[in-house]
Amino acid sequence: MRNSLAALVATLLCACSPPSASVGAPAPPTVRDPAGFPAADRPVAGIVSPQWSSGPDRDAADESGQLIRALGIRKGMVVADIGAGSGYHTLRLSPAVGPQGLVYAEDIVEAYVAGLRREAERRKLANVRIVIGTADDPKLPAGTMDRAVLVHMYHEIESPYALLWNLAGAMKPGGLVGVIDLDRKIENHGTPPALLRCEFEAVGYRRVSHIDMAGGTGYIAIFEAPKARPKPTDIKPCRAKS
């Protein structure tokens, strides 16, 4: 009788307990879009503004200077500013690459870059190109980018694997991608560095360095673009920790 009662209690406890996270437990099914890219297993932060913070704050922290030095951006390079918004970095990248270089200022909302377009025309910045992309594709010319930057916006990307895959196709061999973000949860408008690295590496990128920025504006993570992109259906999504 005692053994029967113990067995009944064990059965009830198993029925009421959450599924085990032990090794060998089946992973939840991967949801994929029509092109075969996996959906992100994490929240997506809402876009609250085309500008992350005021210029004076970022100038005081030398945010652009730190980014340019970390990525080795120099005259004659072609650089993509992904999620350019009001163009804070585009306007500082333009003189850094010089008249022989180019800056592609990309965003998915025309209204966000309207002011940048006017300002670039006012300053006669002939090396700035405005590009309207989509949530999963920055729509950049293939194989042309020496560098790409994603500043305080990675947490707002709805389709990270598709976007990173398409961005890789726009990079030159050995091209570098720099991400500035804050080390906090996605829903709090940041990206944990481990999650960022996992998502980039899932698409074939290699992390080159991780730098804590002076001035408390976040971190810079630098990745080398893959020489060969995986098939979208071969990309395994990162499982976000709760």
pLDDT digits (tens, 9 = 90+) for 217-240: 899 999 999 999 999 999 999 986
In the structure encoding, which two tokens stand for residue 143, read together?
């194989």
Q: What is the pTM of this model?
A: 0.85
* CATH topology classification for 133-242: Rossmann fold (3.40.50)
Give tens-digit pLDDT for 76-102.
999 999 999 999 999 999 999 999 999
> Which residues contact residue 216 at a Cβ distance below 8 angstroms, ignoring those fewer than 6 apart?
61
Q: Give the Cα separation of 120 and 59 in Å (integer).
A: 19
User: What's the CA gap between 55 and 89, in Å, rounded?
Assistant: 10
Sign of CA dihedral 138, 141, 142, 143: negative
